[in-house]
Chains A and B, each alone.
Chain A
Amino acid sequence: MSTNVTMPSMGFDMTEGKVSRWINKVGDAVERGQVIGEIETEKATVDLEAPVAGTLAQILVQVGETVPVSTPIAVITAAGESVSAPASPAPAEAKKESPPPAAPAQAQPHASVASVAPTVSTNGERIKVSPLAKNIARAEGIDLAALHGTGPNGRIIERDVKAFLQTRAPSAPPSTSPAQAAPMPKPSPAAVLTTAPVSTSPAQTPAQLVAGEQPLSKMRQVIARRLQESKSTIPHFYLTIEIFMDEAMKLRAQLNALAANDAEKLSVNDLIVAACARTLQKFPAVNAYFKGDKLEMHDVINVGIAVSVDDGLLTPVLHNADKKSLKQIAIETKELAARARANKMKPDDLGPGTFTVSNLGMYGIDEFSAIINPPESSILAVGAVKKVPVVINDQIQIAQVMKATLSVDHRIVDGALGAEYLQELKKLLENPVNLLLAY
């Protein structure tokens, strides 16, 4: 029987060792416990003893070589026996050990997953809110951005949410108490082991209808929450207008013919963004946020552009859009969209926006109405530019027409104001040369 002499472990902190000396040579007879060589570790040089008596049949690791602990380094055979299968330096046995079994999940307080908190406003500012206030607001479907914090450092606390609830009482859904509204209390560590998963579906679906389940992505969850919040808390109304786009399309063709490269080429949407931004200069209320008991006015005009991405929708923001030339808008919007689709948005790209343009024209959609992106007060939904017969000076002519629908927050913008905004927008797009004026 042959015995492998392995690189010995000479300490709990030793992982490898170097053969620094072989005292015996192959063929020597050795006694059990006889020092046959020396091993050098990081801490010491130690004797290598023969684990059994016999003949040193093979030396597998030469002087100067370093190998992991437990690697065979020599073979000793019983007297008069030959090595049957030469042992080759093999990976240390230790490496083959299966990972240690997991310890029971006791007492680690941070074991469960916390829910996502809607504490970032659309303009990217962190909303300071106490966990309790946040929970009540979520349960009541209140947009935190609509609340004014009276706690330390402007933090929204329980009393602020309750005060808000009182003011909106008539339309509020039946109020649940904060304790009920709050998420399930975290189970105690002992209970973690036994608690069954809690169903999160709001209503039970008959089992036979369920063809499979797909967990919502983080983005999808945010979209769901934000849009629900917007549509259920902001009193929307909608205004649609037809805009003749012939001049705009002509201007676009001319400018694109002069473009130095593809990046400079204008899309229809770039013209619309430019027009929206310039028009906003005259309508500060449309560019404002509703903040409970006051309007928050802005001296910048940042236009968000809805971009569809895998599994969702992003609205990267073009800052100071009213002050940018058409060429700049063309270039920057392309970059923004590319970053959004590549999931490489910069912090600035996220906002804050003051107005949003959503365009489904490229899908042939004639018109639609969009949901406001809180805390903004308006969003423009743009349909396709289509050649249609129109009556001009009692003559039927063919014109390129686009329908645009403005969704507005009635708390800020009344019908007349919204209509005036759309008229101004229409005027600008129908006389697009004004878009080229110095800005």
Chain B
Amino acid sequence: MADMIQVTYRDALKEAMREAMKRDENVVIMGEEVGVWGGTYAVTRGLYDEFGGRRVIDTPIAEMGIIGVATGAAMGGMKPIAEIMTINFALVAMDQIINNTAKIHSMFGGTMRAPVVIRTAAGWGQLAATHSQSFEAWFAHVPGLIVVMPSTPYDAKGLLTTAMYSQNPVVFIEHSRLYGEKGQVPQGEFRVPFGVADVKRDGKDLTIVTYSRMVHVALNAANELAKENINVEIVDLRSLRPIDWETVYNSIRKTHRALVLTEDWMTYGISAEVAARIGYETFDYLDAPVERLTQLEVPLPYASNLEKLSFPDEAKVMQQVKAMLA
């Protein structure tokens, strides 16, 4: 493998896009403030200068227009990256994503393709009720979409490169609080396949199944727990549709305990599906009920203390793990 360099999650994403744009003239980026501004999270910064406004296209604030036009362009043979500034605004474009992008291939009997990459950011930071939501389950629910949610710079670049080569629509969910996260990433092009989870930490006592930012919360908690001789295994799903179930099950067949840790709400959330499958598929290996730790079921308040209370953190994870091993 190529030499590894230390880069941020943000720059890893940018590098994947840059490489795709250099390789393939049909790749364009379209979205709000992706060009002159450089992206509100600075993920596309520099690309406008390098590739020009023809390929890095500032759009009106019109999410269904962005997704619809990107999907139509993809049907016309292009490979657009449509950036939705935050996942909250994807709700405006939901009809386009679900009824067009996800359905074009199947609804027309496989005669058309719409390989759009929809990049968007989850995350929060005193942004209150409408700008702090975790909607990955909404997309992961829909046949016809691929949904990924990387936790590290390595996975971010590798998965985005795979998305750029894919003939399927991909909902690529980043996390605003991970953009500054640094990690080792190979120089040059490499791919992380869809539907392959990654064991981010080996352990024997309990498995935490998680993804995106919560992987880091789980890792921190696991390091603390190790001091008390509790060894937690952490499975990073990376892809939410399709999910690499075998890696999840194999871990639980080893540890016999599972905690599903997510930043979205519990009811009908990703954790509901994951816990249900674990309960069924590894029933005979479980030594304790599958447990879940998720965002509390409240519209996120602005006040910093209340916001903090709403999410799982290291202390809550440790407490939960200990309770399950008691």
Are A and B in contact, CB atoms below 8 Å, in the complex?
A: yes
Q: Quick one: given A130-B288, A188-B246, are A110 and B280 in contact (CB under 8 Å)?
A: yes
Interface positions of B from 269 to 297, Cβ below 8 Å from A: 276-277, 280-288
A interface, how many residues as a size bin? 10 to 19
Cβ-defined contact, B281 with A132, below 8 A: no
A interface secondary structure, majority: loop
Q: Give Cα A118 to B204, complex, Å.
A: 28
Known contacts being A151-B288, A152-B326, A157-B288, is A131 close to B283, with CB within 8 Å? yes
- In whole angstroms, what is the CA distance A186 to B253 when docked? 12
Q: Are A109 and B277 touching (Cβ within 8 A)?
A: yes
Query: Is B283 touching A114 in the complex (CB atoms < 8 A)?
Result: yes
Task: Name the distance in Å between B299's Cβ and chain A's nearest Cβ.
Answer: 32
CA distance A220 to B74 in the complex (A): 63
Q: Give chain A interface residues in 9-37, CB to chain B under 8 Å.
A: none
B41 CB within 8 Å of chain A: no
Which B residues are in CB contact (< 8 Å) with A185? Answer: 249, 253, 281-282, 284
Shortest Cβ gap from A185 to chain B (Å): 7
B: interface residue count bin: 10 to 19
- Which residues 145-161 of A sit at the B interface, judged by CB distance below 8 A? 151-152, 155, 157-158
| Closest A residue, CB atoms, query B324 | A152
User: A277 CB to closest chain B CB, in angstroms?
Assistant: 41
A110, A132, A186: which contacts B287 (Cβ < 8 A)?
Answer: A132
**Which among B284, B286, B288 is the interface contact of A183 at CB below 8 angstroms?**
B284
CB-defined A-B contacts under 8 Å, sample of 19: A109-B280, A130-B256, A131-B285, A133-B287, A135-B284, A151-B326, A152-B288, A152-B323, A157-B287, A158-B287, A179-B253, A179-B285, A182-B284, A182-B285, A183-B284, A185-B281, A185-B282, A185-B284, A186-B281
Q: Which residues on the B side are within 8 Å of A135 (C-beta)?
A: 284-285
Shortest distance in angstroms between A346's beta carbon and chain B's nearest beta carbon? 31
Given A109-B277, A158-B256, answer yes or no on A132-B284 (Cβ-Cβ < 8 Å). Answer: yes
Beyond A109-B277, A132-B285, 20 extra complex contacts between A and B, CB < 8 Å: A109-B280, A109-B281, A110-B280, A130-B256, A131-B283, A131-B284, A131-B287, A132-B256, A132-B284, A133-B287, A151-B287, A152-B326, A157-B287, A157-B288, A158-B256, A179-B285, A183-B284, A185-B249, A185-B282, A186-B281
Residue of A whose beta carbon sits closest to that of B276: A109
- Within 8 Å of chain A (Cβ to Cβ): is B245? yes
B9–chain A nearest beta-carbon distance, Å: 33
**Is A130 touching B286 in the complex (CB atoms < 8 A)?**
yes
Who on chain A is nearest to B245 by CB? A188
The CA-CA distance from A186 to B277 in the complex, in Å, is: 12
| Measured CA separation A185–B249 after assembly (Å) | 10
Q: Which residues of A contact B277 (CB under 8 A)?
A: 109
Which chain B residue shows the least CB distance to A134? B284
In the bound complex, CA of A132 to CA of B286 (Å):
5
Q: In chain B, residues 226-284, which have Cβ atoms closer than 8 Å to a Cβ of chain A? A: 245-246, 249, 253, 256, 276-277, 280-284
Bound CA–CA A152/B277 (angstroms): 23
Closest 5 CB pairs of A and B: A132-B287, A130-B287, A158-B287, A182-B284, A131-B286
A138 to B246, CA, bound (A): 26
CA distance A182 to B42 in the complex (A): 52
A158: chain B residues at CB < 8 Å are: 256, 287
